[in-house]
Every structure is written in structure tokens, then in C-alpha cells.
Structure 1
Amino acid sequence: MSGNQPEISTFQPRPAQKKILEYRDGKMGISAVPGSGKTHTLAALAAQLVATGLQDDDQEVLIVTLVNSAVNNFGSRINDFIQARGLLPNVGYRVRTLHGLAHDIVRERPGLVGLANDFTIVDDRDAREILTGAVDTWVRGHPDFAERYLAPDLEGSKREWVQRAQWPHLVQDMAAAFIRQAKDMELDPDALRFRLGDAADELPLVRMGLDIYTDYQRGLNYRGGVDFSDLIRLALMALRLDEEFLARLRHRWPFILEDEAQDSSELQEKILRQLSGPDGNWVRVGDPNQAIYNTFTTADPRFLRDFLREPDVRPRDLLASGRSQQAIIDLANYLVDWTVQKHPTPSARSAFLQQHIEPTLPGDPQPNPPENRSAVHLFDRQLTPEAELEAVVDSVARWLPENQDKTVAVLVPRNKRGEGVSDALRARDIPYVELLQSTTTTRLAAGALGNVLAALAEPTNSKQLAKVFQVWRRRDKDDKETWARVKALSKRIRKLRDVERFLWPGIKDDPLEGLEIADESDPLSDLSLLAEFRQTMRRWQEASTLPVDQLILTLGQELFDDPANLALAHKLAVVLRAAADAHPNWRLPELTAELTSVARNQRRFIGLSDEDTGFDPEAHKGKVVVATMHKAKGLEWDRVYLTAVNNYTFPSAQSHDSYIAERWYIRDQLNMEAEIMAQLDSLLSDDVLPYSEGQATRDARLDYVRERLRLLYVGITRAKRDLVITWNTGRRQKPLQPAVPFIALHAYWEERK
């Protein structure tokens, strides 16, 4: 959400926006730069079409956008425009994500695609559990399969550890990509099995993917549900199967407006083409230079690029942006020009559409901030990750006190790095908010509860009991001397040989046996502390027979006293109760794992962030927003720190680069997700050359290089006034280098000085 948009009553369209608002019918494609007001313009166009373009009362303008938060944002803006025209709000339009639209279509005619009227949608969490079960079954049934791909220099215990702890996760990643792509190609397991035929030996990864896909679909069918990928596939099927149904929907939605079209997938495009028809009214808006989700989804910016070149499409652009000061605009434009003209890897030069951000004209209601070239800093100094973190936090600490009325963000490549930034800010008492998969408060609360649940699930585990002791006394962390005592006692608890005797001693038992607490040098307070802890654990063990939600609430009441953490405990209790209801066979170990995934920032905890309702940086002035670069898309801040711009985060297909998708334990640096997709393509397409191992990995590197260039562009264009870019050497034995585009930007900036 941009904080720099005009009020509806003062909206004065720029010349390019006026051209778009002249739209009446047909196909139009709009390429919009960051901060150009594309969402505002599209909302104004939607309101205009509601007021003047609908012929019947049952018709609506259909707006399709990328994420749920944008649905609310769009609806609010359209309502404002509609009410300014004197019309009723919430009438004459429908805003949906692709999943929401697919649900509307399928829900109207479920029988058409073989579903019952009461079909259910299996959410991401349950779908992941089904997939995990299918993968575990397959891995156990094929214990030797990993040997085909593991690096030959893995030996002994390390090789066993990889097969036990790493290989199943990789298989799950491969299977998830395979299933997602198969469904995007509209292929069910039976159709794939027919195509595979006798080629199973030649395409072993496809055989693996098909086995897991079959088991996964069986799990969905057992629950009488569909996943989100099925929903989209079935929506398209319904449109193709019933021409009368399709005609009715075309009448209902005579205008289709698509936002964030650079992130459109093949199935999304097919659905919208069906709904608009060959001569329909379809407006697509996006920025091909901000397509940053290819790695995680089936999205591809080529769909928008190709659409813009179609002969019956009127191309338009939105190039004027009032977001950033001129120096930041110059830097972003140079990144585009350098990439297109000079990138050392020729295949990477297609990453960008060569369009420039232009500042707004004098008199524009959204003027650019004053130009200040000294507010752009590209630090080429070699820093370790710890030194980079310290330098960024030091800079924030100097800047923030005198800029309490401004916004600031630290953008990181991954959630784990964001945790480190948050911890460093908290240690310096610098206020911050997080746009990560989960917040620090959530992670700490979930971690505390998770450690207690783990101890209750393994009541004889002394190591887990020692962790709980520290959780129980975590308020002592602020006192170094007291915390040292707590850690010393925790170490002794960890060495206990008989936890049951310690917690539940018999009449003749010495409860302190094994703790070595009899030493006269230990103060009496240690004895009373251990006795109190024993009573607490006994009380918690007695409560462990309660339903999991009541258990969490009971623990929360004892562990937390501030309202925020108590509220979190309540929400976590609701989540775990839902998980227990969905999985009747789950016991404390499985429920503990669910909490652990939140505590380790591996899963977004829905309902505890602004993501579903929209995040507004303007609401957090005087605080540091810690966000991943992906989460920052669509947002803006006065000051932005762009961190870890090295050749691992932003590789350039150079010999010294490394890639996150190439696991260290896989031979020949193969990208296994890319290889399984290449085998699938080889099976299905007559135009694709026979599968050649390794080629897909090389192609995936280039795709990733292009996407990361666009991610760097997105990061730069989040800044309005100040921009600081840093890099670090990483933690590998061989130090990382500054990213090639960083080197180019730094050289350009030094010349401009």
C-alpha cells in the first residue's frame, strides 16, 4: 500500500492516467513503473465503468488481483470513487484473487466438474500434511533412490544424516513443484501415467513425482476436498464444459480488470481469456520489471509481455512516479540500462523491459521528494554478516531519534536474516515491527509454549526439562548474575539420569540425587528454586490430559502476564485445537511440531500480522520495519536499508557464484526441482529435446539471475528519500563477493559524485 496516493476528492489524473481513463471497451495492456499509481488508476477506471459501462442490474466489473490484502484495498478505493459519483457503494463490482474467482466459478456449478455440492477446500496447512505423508511413504519405500543423486564425497555418518534429515525435505520440495506444475498443465495422475508408459526408467524423477502425486490426490479425495491448485484447474474445466454457463458469466462480468498481471500464470491467463472472450473487454496492468515470484510459483512475466504485443491490444504505460527523489530514480534506471546493455551474462539482459521511471511534472499533486544525492549510499566495504548487522543498526540508531516523523525499513533476503535484525534492534531498545513469516513476539511465545509441550510429550527427557527450566525463569535474563545461576542449574538438570525420580520422588528417594546440589557452595535459594520448579512441572504434567487448547491456555496463564502474550496464547490455542480436530490421531509430539514451525519462522501465523488486511508503513513512523524484500513489494518508506547484496543473494551466472536451490549434498550441483520439471516437460512436449541431465540446472540459474535482478530493482524503488545498500561476505569457508550489479551501481554512483 503506497502512502503517497492522493485523496479521492483531490485525484487529478496525469496525462498518461487520463489516456487510460478514456478506455471504453476492448483489450488494453498497461505497463506501470513503481509508484506510478496503477492501483489508484485501476480503481478509478473500475468506478467509471460501474457508473457508465454496465447495461444490466445483474452485471459487475470483475477485478482480479494477486493477494487478499489487495482485495480490501481495491474495494475501499473503488467505493470512495463510486460514492464521489453519488452511487451506492459495494454494488456493480467484484474484487477477487484468482483463488477467490475460481471458488466463485466452481461453487456455482460443482457437479459440472465432478464435485459434491458440499465440497471443501483443503487449506495450505492440511495440504502440506497430506504431501508430507505421501513423501514419507515414498521415501521409506525407496531407500536407495537417493544414491543416484547424492554427492560421491559424502561418507559415513554424514551420508546417513543427509539421507535421514535432508533428503526427505528435498523430495517434498521436488514433489510440491511437480504437482503444482502438473496441475497447471491440467494433468491428473491417470493422464500422466498414460503418458509415462515405458519411459519410467529414462525419467526416474517423473516416476517419483507421479507416485507421490497419486498418493497426494488420494489423500485429498479421502477428505472430499480440493486444494487451491485443483480449484483453479477445475474452474477452467467448468468454463470449457458448459458454453451456456460461460455465456452467463460473460454477461455477468462484461469488463475484466487484472492487477499485478506480471505475476499471472498460464492457468490464470486461460481463465481470464475464457471469461473475456475473443472480442471481450480485458484490461491488464502490471510491471514486468517487478516480476519476482517465478521461483515460488508458476507465474511468468512473459504472459504480460506477450499480451502487450498482441495486435488487438492497446498498449499504454504509466511512467511518471512521485515516490522517489531523483537520485534514487537515476539509480533504478541505471540498473535497468546496465542490465539490458552491459550485463556480463548476455542471457540475463532480458530481465528487464527497458522503460524508465520518470519524475512527476511541476504542479503534480504527488511531487517527488527533493533531490539529494548524498542520501544514497552504496557501501563497498567488506563486512562479515555480524559487522554488516552492527553497521546497519548503528546507522538506524543515529538516524531515528531525529526522524520520528518518518518511515524506515531494513530489507533482508530471507526470514532468518530478518530475525537477526530484529534481535539486534531489540538489544539496542530500538522500536521495530516485523513483516516476516512471524513476529518476534509470536516466535518467543510459540517457542516458550512449544518447549513446555515438548517436555510434556517426553516426560523422561532431561535435556528438554532443562530447556523448560530456562523458559520458566526467562524473566531473569535481564540480570546477568541471576541468569548465570539459572543456566548453571539448567546444566545440572540436563545431566539428570532419572527425571521421574526428580519430579516425583518416593518416600525414600533423594529428589536432588544426580544434581550435585549438595555442595555447600550452592546457596539455599537454589534448593528452593528447584523445589518450586518441581511443583510447577508436576502441575503441568497433571494438566497434560486436558484438550490441547485448554492445556495451552493453562500454560499461557502461568508463563505470561502481559495482555499481548496472553492474546497470542489464546490464538495459538485456537490454531492447535483446529489442528487436533483435523488430525484426530495427533498427540502432543505432532502438536508440538506445529508450534515449533511457528517459533522457527517456518510458517506464517495467520491472524497475527497485517498481511491479510494490508500493511501501511505510515502507521509505523518512528519505528523500524524489518521485512523481506519480497514482502516489501508494493510498499514504500522514507529511508530503506537494502542488505546482503552479495553474489549468493544476487548471483549473476559467474563462475564464483552459488545458488540457493543447488543443495550442497547433491552431486554435480544439480538443481533437483529444475531437473524434475525438465523431465516432466520432456515427457509432455514433442517440441522439447530429449532430457539431458544438468541442462535444466543451467537454465534455472539464468532464470534465477533474471528474477534476482528484478528483486534488486524492487528493493531500490521502495525508497523515497534515503537509500543505503550494503553487502556481506557470508559464513561460508570461501567468502562471498559483492553482487556484480552492486559493483556496477557503485561504479556508476562514484562517477556521478
Structure 2
Amino acid sequence: MTESAPAAFEPRPGQREILEYTAGRMGVAAVPGSGKTTTIAALAARLLGARFVGEGPLGESGEVLVVTYQNAAAESLRHRIARQLSQQSLPPSGYAVRTLHGLAYGIVQMWPGHAGTSSDFRVLDERSQRELIDRAVAEWNAENTPTWGRLAPGDDSTYDPVWEESWRRIAAGLARTCIAAAKNRRLDADGLLLALTAARQSGDPSPELPGMLYLRIGAEIFRRYQLLVETSAGIDFNDMVRLAVDLLESHPDLSTRLNERWPVVLEDEAQDSVPLQEELLGRLTSDRGHWIRVGDPNQSITSTFTSADPRFLRRFLDREDVTGLEMQISGRCAPPVMALANDLVDWVCDAYPVVEVRASAFRRQHMIATAAGDPQQNPSAEASGIALRGYEHRDEELLDVARRAGRFAQSQPECTLAVLVPTNRLGFELADILRAQEVSFDERLQSSRRARTVVDTLVAVLAAVADPLSSRGLAEAFRATHPASIDEPGKQPQPSPVEELVPLVRSCYRPESLFYPESGVTLADAFPPVQALRDADLASIEELAVRVRRWVSAARFPVDQLVLAIAHDLFAGEDLARAHRVAQFLRRRHDQNPAWRLPELAVDLKRADAAREVLGGEGDAAYEPRPGQLTVTTMHKAKGMEWDLVYLVSIDGVEFPGTTEDYFRGYQQHLGGDPAELARSQLTALIDAGSTAGATARAGQVEYISERLRLLYVAITRARRYLSVSFSQQVPVGQRSRRVPDALVFHRLRTLLDNRKASS
């Protein structure tokens, strides 16, 4: 379960010191389950209560600004602060809760002229940014074929369409990484290219390294991308934050005005801060310095795929002008689980075999159990347990975990439980196994199976409506809208299974006869002569024809109204709500691309990531684990939640590499590593040290190992009472299954657990 405030908040040590805040800069390192969110809400309410009687740093009319990482967290904080104010009989006002991008958007919107943009500026969504990057990559590739052609594996210099497609994906990932990293350091494409030229002219030997080439490629694609952004009259998310920082830097008077409005800034999830965020909040608090940053450096789990970096919070905590505090007391985990998490931190800090990881993975801080009388008592050691299991093959592991989870849910219906997976793909595999075993569960993955089904169904129907005379399109719409059914004795004749009817629909050579039959022409006449066309099958096909005819008539309306008309024919309940969100998404896409018609919109929705983008993360803000109901989610999405029993699967050497000699996802031997990571390492070295010397693949590998260790720490600390950790020796890698090395950290967990048992 997520953290929840007791009826009357009684601060414990660590929380109490935070609530005594009066002024200045404060940094708080909060361990898992220490009540971080509740304490932030209580501090905001206390500051507003002091303002009510004319005391404290807010003055008479100042507001508290709370900045957090995600929309779901922002909504939770708004609710908690309002509840705290209500308990103190104070009005629910005087505070603002914003995400970083929401804050930057508001600042730029206040003074668009000063920011160098128009008052009706448009922020590009994630899809639009990705499309522009793809276009920039295509342009660069067309003009630089010899460059990317030489990077192909092997010695064959002939054109290889397979490599071209692979390189297109690699280049897009490389470009996204370089663009985000450079913009977060307030570096434009021309500035980055100038810095690279200066490094080469200075005699820096590192331009010969592969990462230097990839960084230059990324910078050149960056330049093309930025031109496309400017041509589209939009700005991307990183530009928006940069514009806000530039605005406050060039107009100190505006910074002062905002500081008067928000004298105190409370930053939640500060371990996920990016460089631009630190600059923006630093400028907002430059006049008075009332800045409280709360987070857990040991739960920073996004730094390898975003510009976040836990070093920013660590440095802030160590600054001389910052009051550093720790929230170490946690009532979440049973003593054995807590001890395992603490031992993991100590081992990594003291003895991890890769020396650089010792300093980069964790901040040394321990979880401490609550004292007697605390409202949130830790589960007892007697009612807890930890199991470590090994399997021969991944399939065996998933099958056994699914069986055990299903049995536990039935035998312990009062408990919450979850299976946490390292990747969404693995979660989808497990979900299919659970369905086959008829185990009830909540799917909290990148996009649920039901969400993908809704999107796929609408894609098929929209394609058929866009081209109703295509028999292939009609067949796909038939497949999507008619579930298979089987004849049963004693029942009315049923249509044949859908997969038997799809070829029949595809064979229709007179589709117009389905929709507007001529006099004397039957439905069967629209198909080639076949034996025994069953009446039930024809009735099923006719039902589709009637629907498509109705939907084609509705195609003259705006796309969102068309989708809603289709949805009300096909869906109910939660699926109907999902279809409404798809309708809103397509309306936005049409507004962004006025020339698009239904065929283009259908293709746009068909993109592989549409379900994730449109419906991914649905309901996350309100999700609460339910007793007796299994949750399947990723280790990343599990952050902030807790369960009585947690299964951690696939803790193997592929998902959790232990040394720089291990296999790393994205690593390509013929490219010298992962091009995106190599480029990012070069960029970091170039900006931080003014040189690219020493930036190698090892730096990126160290960062990845460190983050995976933090991810495992987060996963372990989701368990309140019971924890199961498992791995397999045979796992899918690429297109085949192969034996992989055991995870170094798995063996260490076993040793740490055995040592604890021996000493108890």
C-alpha cells in the first residue's frame, strides 16, 4: 500500500526536525517507508498555519510552491496538503503543487515575450517530438550513407537493408539521448558542435574514440531536429524548461516577483532532479534561499534513460549552506527485509568488486525500525520470511512463481501481494501465464492487455471505415470485433470460430454488395462460390456490414465523434472510458496535423507504442493494492507502493550485470558498445571537464550497474513481510535462449542472508 497519513499526524524523530524548519536551505534524505510524502504535506500545512498568524517565512501573503516529478505524485500531494489543512481548520489555499514541466510552462506563459515566444506557443507532445527526431534521422542518413554504412557489422561494404533499418533505430535512440542531455545542460546543437571542434583542435586525443563519432552524429541530428521544431512553431519539453531558466536569468526582476509569490519551495523526489530543474529552482529561491529538497538518493532509478542524476541531491546535502537531515525511521518492512536492504547498501559501499560503483551506487544510510508506541509498527520478524530460488529456465521460473502467487492469494486473502518484473515484456509473458492458470490479477504494466485490445480494435475499425471497399481491411475489422465462439449442443447455431471466417471475409470480391446490395443480389453473392455457406456465418458477416455502414456515415463528423460512435457500439464500462481517451488523443493529433484524414489518423494510432502513449499508466494515481488480489508490475512502477508479499523475478546476469565484463543490453560489439551511452559519457566529460579524454564505455557501464543495484534496493523495500527473489540460468537473449551468468548481487544476497541467520 502507498503511504497514508494517520488521522492525527504524530511526527517521529527525523520528521520532527523537518517540521521545525524556519528558513534557509534544507536537504532531507528519506529512506523507503519513512513517511516522506506525509511529512512534506505536514510541513506545507504548518508553514501556512504560521502565515495565518503572521509568522514564518511566508510573510503575510506568500504561498508554498511544491514541485514534484510526476502528475500522479502532484495530485497525491494536493490531496494530502488539503487534508492536513482541514485537520487544522485552515482554508485549502496558499499553496501550489506543480510538476517541473507544469511550473516551467506557467512561467513562460506569464511572460512569453520576455521568453522569446508567442503567447499561443504550442508544446510538442512526446509523439510529435519522436516523429521530428525520426525525420531528422532520415535526413541525416540520406546525406551520410558512407558514415553509417561503414559502421555495419562484418567487412562486406555492399548495401544491406537490414543494417539500414537497425541503424535507423540506433540513430534515433542516439539522437534522443544527445538532445535531452545537451538541452538539460543548456547547450544547443551549434554550441555542442563548436565544443566538439574545439576539443579536436586542442589536440585532445579522444576524438578517435567511438563515442566521439557518435556524439558528433547526435549533434548533427540535433541541429536538424531543432530546425524542424522551429519550423513547426512549437517547443519541446526541454526547451520549455530552458526558456523558463533563461527568462529568470536575463530578467532578475521577474525572478524576484516569483520569489515574493512563492517564498518557500518544497521539492519532492529530489533524487530525480535534472540539471535544468536544479537551475530553475535555484533561481526561484536565489533571493531568500528558502528551499527544501526531499528525496532518497538510493531510490534514483531513472538516470540511465533520463537526464536525472542522484549526484545533484547528494551534492546539495553536503553543501555548507544546507541543513542536512535524514529520515531513517521506517515502519514498512519486517526486520529481516530491512536488514537485507541495509546489508546490500553496506556491501556495495564497502566491498563491491567494481571500485567506481562503491561511490556511485548508494549513499550510506540505513532503515531503522519504529519505536514502541509508534502508530506505524513494523511487521514482526516471526511473521516474515525471505526465500531465494534458482531455476534452470525462465519459463520454469515464471510458471512456478505464477503457481505460488495464485496459491498464496487463495490461502491468505487478507494479504496484498505482487510480482515485480524488470521489464514490461517479461510482465506481459507472466500475465499470459496467469491468465492460462486463471489467476486473478491487476496488470500495472506499460499498457495493460485490455488497453492494447481497445486500441487494436479501434485501429482495425478505423482502417475499415477509411477504406470500406478493402476486403482485407474488412477482414481485420471482423477479426477485431467478433470474438471466436464454438458450437455447443443444445444451443442455437453459432458462427464458426472467427479464424475460420476471416479468410471468407477476405475473399469478398464485391464489398459494395455488403453495404448497399442491389435488388435481387444476396449477401452470399458478394463471395466466391463455396460449399455450405452457413446462415449463422452470413448473419455474423451481415452484422459487421450493418455496423460499418453506420460508421461510414458517421465518418463525416470530427474524428473524436466518430470514435465515440464506434466505441458505444463495441465497448462498455472501463473499455468505453479507454475509447474516450483514444478519441481525445486522435482529436489532438488532428489539431496538430490539420491535413491528416482518417487513413493517416488510423496509421498514426497503429504505431506500436500507441497503447502505451494513449492509455499507459491509466489509473496509477489512484491505484491501491487490494488484499487477495495479485499485482503484476515493473520494479520501476512499483516505487512508492508496498505489499505484504513481493516476488522479484529474473534477478540474473542479463538484467543485473555485476561487472564491466558482463553482457549489457544495447551493447553492440562492432560499434564498441552502446552508441547512445558512449555519446552521453563523451558529452558529460566535455561539459564537466572541458575535454572528452577518459570518457569510455566503462563510465556508462558503471552508471548502469549502479542504477540496477538501486532498482533492486527499491524492489526489495516494497516487501512488508515476505520476499521471494529468483533467477534462471537459461534466458532469452536476442532471438534465442542461452545460458547466462548468475547475477553477482544474487549470490551476495544469499551470503548476506546466511550471515544474518548464522549470527542470530
Do the two structures share a fold, i.e. TM-score over 0.5? Answer: yes
Structure 1 residues 307 and 686: CA distance shift in structure 2, 3 A: closer
Q: Secondary structure at the match of 1:726?
A: strand
Give the TM-score of the pair, scaled to structure 1: 0.88
- Indicate yes or no: 2:495 matched with 1:488: no
Counterpart Cα distance in 2 of 1:499 and 1:661:
49
1:412 paired residue number? 421
For 1:243-642, list aligned pairs within 5 A: 243-277=252-286, 280-350=289-359, 351-372=361-382, 375-384=385-394, 386-455=395-464, 465-476=474-485, 485-491=497-503, 496=507, 518-519=530-531, 525-526=536-537, 529=540, 547-560=558-571, 562-597=572-607, 601-605=611-615, 609-611=618-620, 614-618=621-625, 620-642=626-648
Say whether the 8 Å CA contact 1:445–1:569 is kept in structure 2.
yes
Quote the offset at 1:633 in angstroms. 0.7
Counterpart-to-counterpart distance in 1, 2:182 and 2:353: 35
**In structure 2, do the counterparts of structure 1 residues 220 and 332 end up closer, same or farther at CA, with 3 Å as the change threshold?**
same
Q: 1:25 aligns with which of 23, 26, 36?
A: 23
TM score, norm. by length of structure 2: 0.87
Q: Which moved more, 1:562-571 or 1:716-725?
A: 562-571
Task: Please report how far the alpha carbon of residue 174 of structure 1 lies from its aligned counterpart in structure 2 after TM superposition.
Answer: 1.4
Task: Give the C-alpha shift of residue 511 in structure 1.
Answer: 8.8
Deviation of the 1:357 alpha carbon: 0.9
Distance 1:279 1:594 in 2: 49
Deviates more, 1:304-313 or 1:396-405: 396-405
Residues 146 and 497 of structure 1: CA distance in aligned 2, closer, same or farther (over 3 Å): farther
String of CA shifts for 1:142-191, please: whole Å, max 9, x gaps.
3443223222278989x412313x32222222111111122112123343
Which residue of the partner structure matches residue 118 of structure 1?
120
Percent identity over paired residues: 37
CA distance in 2, matches of 1:211, 1:479: 64
User: Are 1:240 and 2:243 an aligned pair?
Assistant: no
1:2–1:634 CA contact under 8 A, matched in 2: yes
The structure-2 alpha-carbon separation of the partners of 1:235 and 1:530, relative to structure 1 and needing over 3 Å to count, comes to closer
Q: Is the 8 A contact 1:261 1:285 kept in 2?
A: yes
The superposition leaves residues 533-581 of structure 1 with CA deviations (integer Å, 9 ceiling, x where unpaired) of: 5666666666656543344234334433x33323322332222122122
Using the TM superposition, give the Cα deviation of residue 323 of structure 1 relative to its aligned residue in structure 2, in angstroms.
0.4
* Equivalent residue number for residue 71 of structure 2: 68
Deviates more, 1:299-308 or 1:597-606: 597-606
What corresponds to 2:204 in structure 1? none
Give 1:37 deviation, angstroms: 0.9
Contact 1:205-1:679 within 8 A present in 2 as well: no
Q: Secondary structure at the match of 1:277?
A: coil
1:160 maps to which residue?
Answer: 161
- Given the superposition, is the C-alpha separation of residues 31 and 476 from structure 1 closer, same or farther in structure 2, using an over 3 Å criterion? same
Report the 3-state secondary structure (helix = DSSP H, G, I; strand = E; otherwise coil) of the residue aligned with 2:613: coil
- Cα distance, 1:679–1:343 mapped onto 2, change above 3 Å: closer
Report how far residue 512 of structure 1 moved.
7.6
Q: Partner letter of residue 79 of structure 2?
A: S
Q: Counterpart of 1:46 in 2: which secondary structure? A: helix
Shift of 1:703: 0.5
- Measured in 2, the distance between the counterparts of 1:248 and 1:127 equals 33
Deviates more, 1:545-554 or 1:172-181: 545-554
Give the structure 1 partner of residue 129 of structure 2. 127
Aligned residue number for residue 742 of structure 2: 738
Question: CA shift at 1:688, angstroms?
Answer: 2.2
Residue matched to 2:715: 715
Q: Which position in structure 2 is the counterpart of 1:687?
A: 690
Report the CA distance between 1:589 and its aligned residue: 4.4
SS class of match (1:474): coil
Conserved 8 A contact 2:581-2:615:
no
After TM superposition, give the deviation of residue 87 of structure 1 in Å: 2.3
Q: Distance in 1 between matches of 2:641 and 2:388?
A: 21
1:214 is paired with a residue whose SS is helix
Deviation at 1:365, TM superposition (A): 0.9
**Partners of 2:58 and 2:263 within 8 A in 1:** no
Partners of 1:215 and 1:288 in 2: how far apart?
Answer: 36
Once the two structures are superposed, what CA deviation does each residue of 1:100-153 show, in whole Å capped at 9, x if it has no partner?
A: 222232222222221223323222233233333333333334344322322227
Is contact 1:438–1:598 with CA below 8 Å preserved after alignment? no
Q: 1:498 to 1:731 in 2, by over 3 A?
A: farther
Q: Greater shift after overlay, 300-309 or 506-515?
A: 506-515
- After superposition, residues 85-104 of structure 1 pair within 5 angstroms as 85-91=88-94, 93-104=95-106
Q: Do 2:678 and 2:700's aligned partners in 1 also have CA atoms closer than 8 Å?
A: no
- Number of equivalences: 734
One-letter amino acid of the structure 2 residue matched with residue 377 of structure 1:
A
Q: Is the 8 A contact 1:378 1:746 kept in 2?
A: yes
- Counterpart amino acid of residue 30 in structure 1: V
Query: Structure 2: how far apart are the matches of 1:298 and 1:685?
Result: 14
C-alpha contact 2:635 2:711 (8 A) present in aligned 1: yes
Supply the distance in 2 between the matched residues of 1:713 and 1:81 (Cα, whole angstroms).
Answer: 31
3-state secondary structure, aligned to 2:33: coil
CA distance in 2, matches of 1:99, 1:581: 22
| 2:14 partner SS | helix
Partner AA of 1:178 in structure 2: C
Moved more, 680-689 or 716-725: 680-689
Aligned residues of 2:330 and 2:367 also touching (Cα < 8 A): yes
The partner residue of 1:676 within 676, 679, 687 is 679
Cα root mean square deviation, aligned? 3.4
The partner residue of 1:658 within 663, 666, 669 is 663
Question: Residue type matched to 2:151 in 1?
Answer: Y
Q: What is the Cα deviation at residue 302 of structure 1? A: 0.8
1:4 touches 1:323 (CA, 8 Å); kept in 2? no
Aligned equivalents of 2:619, 2:120: Cα separation in 1: 31
Against the structure 1 CA distance between its residues 465 and 142, is the aligned structure 2 distance closer, same or farther, given a 3 Å change threshold? farther
In the TM superposition, residue 671 of structure 1 has moved relative to its aligned partner by 0.7
The answer to whether the Cα contact below 8 Å between 1:113 and 1:237 also exists between their aligned partners in 2 is: yes
Q: State which drifts further: 460-469 or 140-149.
A: 460-469
Is contact 2:681-2:699 (8 Å) kept? no
Q: 1:574 to 1:107 in 2, by over 3 A?
A: closer
SS of the counterpart of 1:405?
A: coil
CA distance in 2, matches of 1:628, 1:478: 40
Matched residue, 1:47: 45
Judged with a 3 Å threshold, the aligned counterparts in structure 2 of structure 1 residues 557 and 50 are, in CA distance, closer, same or farther, namely closer
Unpaired runs of at least 5, structure 1:
none
Q: Which of 148-157 and 710-719 deviates more?
A: 148-157
Q: Which moved more, 1:431-440 or 1:739-748?
A: 431-440
